[in-house]
Amino acid sequence: MSDFYIKPESEFYQKLQWLMLSRVLFTSLLLGSTIILQLGESASPLAPPLLLLYGLIAGIFLLSFTYAIILKHVKRGILFAHVQIGIDTVVVTLIIFVTGCYSSIFSFLYLVVIIYSSMLLFRKGSMIMAALCSIQYGVMLNLEYYRILEPFNTAGIALSAADYAGSHVLYKVVITMVACFAVAILSSFLSEEERKTKKELADMEDHVKRVEKLAVLGEMAAGLVHEIKNPLASLTGSIQLLREDMDYDPQHERLMQIVLREADRLSSLVSNFLLFAKPPAGKTEAIELGRVLSEVVELFDKETRKGRHVSVTNTVIPNVWVQMDAGHLRQVLWNLLLNAAEAIDGSGHIKIKLYPLKNRFACIEISDDGCGMTRETLKSIFDPFFTTKPGGTGLGLSIVHSILESYNSWLEVESKINAGTTFILKFRLIRPPT
Ligand code: ADP
Ligand code: MG
């Protein structure tokens, strides 16, 4: 995010706008009331603390004005927010200084700054702000204690830090620091939780949308596939009859071969599409994952060894059972292995691992050291007909996804361009049959 213009519709932008507006309102209210209070107490409306307060208000208005102007043009929004809030901590320190340093009642403002920094900048940002606040407060009180800094004593009653014992001053500094960090930890924890929940919700929404779309598509596809397959079968049959009846002619023979081959391709394409759009119910049974996995890998290794330099290692543990149709499982594994092999240009390695997860799930990990994917590609790989391969159908992963879906299982992908890809399948375990 930090490298782009802040988008006006983004949540971050809105939060930042809110912050800028509240800052102006809050400081005018706070400093305004302080000025009114002090005006009543001090001899002249031009006393130094009052002058400083006027200056602070003017400064904040000026800053807010500048922020508002450059907001649309900043490229690095996160950095911009850091700078703004960092300046806020300095302003708070100034407010505390003007209103009596050690005896000021405004040290709680540090906590306010830390709380909103956690809403915008999360854990790291709020920790940075807590550190900034602690340092400034500590330094200021120390300077005051050693009489380098003289606080304004407008009412003539407040005492300076230098009038207290060192331990008192230290105590106050430490308590404030602890409060700053405690608030940073707590409020950033809440903000992180909120962020996580929002993300989960968005993911879930995407998921539901996808499932709904697939359900409608599935119904349509099932009908369409029948309408295509029947005429296709008659076509193939007729051509075969013609071929038997006709005299041999190499030219005709070649053309008929093309018709048959393409009809075959079309037929397998629509079958695959049906498999994706509406996986058959299948016959679920208790199957041992390790056994089926080893079978598929062995067959795959044999099939792909010709012409390729792909080595395969397979690590399985025995006695891991799941409830599903063995044909479906084979299809899922086959599609993933095929993709892994296709991602490897030249020689490479495919690693397959089966391991349990928290006693209730089993994971199958299939990783390759092939071409990997960009983030853009990664977003679309489960969409039907999405492919980056010249001869690809883009149905492999869609089929994998919808089969797993029907078993309440799921898969995760990690990929790095030019480094490789890992697919992690997660299945629900069942008790081994006795
Ligand atoms: P197809 O294999 O026909 O292209 P898939 O649905 O199987 O269709 O895959 C979709 C796309 O996902 C592929 O075209 C490829 O870009 C990407 N992809 C899938 N698996 C891998 C992998 N292991 N490594 C790199 N890219 C992959
Ligand atoms: Mg594929």
32-78 pLDDT, tens digit each: 888 888 888 777 788 888 888 889 889 999 999 999 999 888 888 89
Task: List pLDDT tens digits, range 104-148.
Answer: 989 999 999 999 999 999 999 999 999 999 999 999 999 999 988
Is residue 377 in contact with ligand 1, taking CB distance under 6 Å? yes
pLDDT band at 209 (very low <50, low <70, confident <90, very high): confident
Q: Residue 336 Cα, ligand 2 centroid: separation in angstroms?
A: 7
Which of 383, 393, 397, 402, when mutated, tests ligand 1's pocket best, judged by the most ligand atoms within 8 Å of its CB? 397
Distance, CA of 104 to CA of 109 (rounded, Å): 11
Is residue 381 in contact with ligand 1, taking CB distance under 6 Å? yes
Task: List pLDDT tens digits, range 391-402.
Answer: 888 999 989 998
Is residue 341 in contact with ligand 1, taking CB distance under 6 Å? no
Is residue 374 in contact with ligand 1, taking CB distance under 6 Å? no
Q: Quick check: 156 pLDDT over 60?
A: no
The pTM of the whole model exceeds 0.75? no
Is residue 397 in contact with ligand 1, taking CB distance under 6 Å? yes
Residue at token pair 């990783």: 367
Distance, CA of 289 to CA of 21 (rounded, Å): 59
Which of 304, 365, 387, 411, when mutated, tests ligand 1's pocket best, judged by the most ligand atoms within 8 Å of its CB? 387
Q: How high is the pLDDT of residue 73? A: 86
Spell 164-194 as b/e; 16+ CB within 10 A means b: beeeebeebbeebbebbbebbbebbeebeee
Is residue 421 in contact with ligand 1, taking CB distance under 6 Å? yes
Task: List pLDDT tens digits, range 284-319.
Answer: 899 999 999 999 999 998 887 766 778 888 998 989
Is residue 396 in contact with ligand 1, taking CB distance under 6 Å? yes
pLDDT band at 427 (very low <50, low <70, confident <90, very high): very high
Using alpha carbons, select from 282, 225, 315 the residue that is nearest to residue 404: 282
123-129 — which CB contacts under 8 Å span 24+ positions? 123/188, 123/189, 123/191, 123/192, 125/81, 125/82, 125/85, 125/188, 126/184, 126/187, 126/188, 126/191, 127/181, 127/184, 127/188, 128/82, 128/86, 129/85, 129/86, 129/89, 129/184
Phi-psi group of 325: left, alpha or beta (phi > 0 → left; psi -120 to 50 → alpha; rest → beta): beta
Distance, CA of 222 to CA of 399 (rounded, Å): 14
Structure tokens at 58: 């003017």
Residue nearest to atom 18 of ligand 1 (CA): 339
Distance, CA of 239 to CA of 97 (rounded, Å): 95
Is residue 104 in contact with ligand 1, taking CB distance under 6 Å? no
Residue 335 alpha carbon, nearest atom of ligand 1: 7
Distance, CA of 332 to CA of 330 (rounded, Å): 5
Q: Quick check: 340 pLDDT over 50?
A: yes
Q: Residue 153 Cα, ligand 2 centroid: separation in angstroms?
A: 77
Residues whose CB falls within 8 Å of the CB of residue 375, separated by 6 or more in sequence, listed in order? none
Residue 423 alpha carbon, nearest atom of ligand 1: 23
Q: How high is the pLDDT of residue 1? A: 38
Which of 275, 337, 339, when mutated, tests ligand 1's pocket best, judged by the most ligand atoms within 8 Å of its CB? 339
Is residue 402 in contact with ligand 1, taking CB distance under 6 Å? no
Q: Quick check: 281 pLDDT over 80?
A: no
Is residue 12 in contact with ligand 1, taking CB distance under 6 Å? no
Q: Quick check: 374 pLDDT over 80?
A: yes
Q: How high is the pLDDT of residue 2? A: 38
Give the mean model confidence (pLDDT) for residues 79-108.
93
Structure tokens at 103: 């005896």
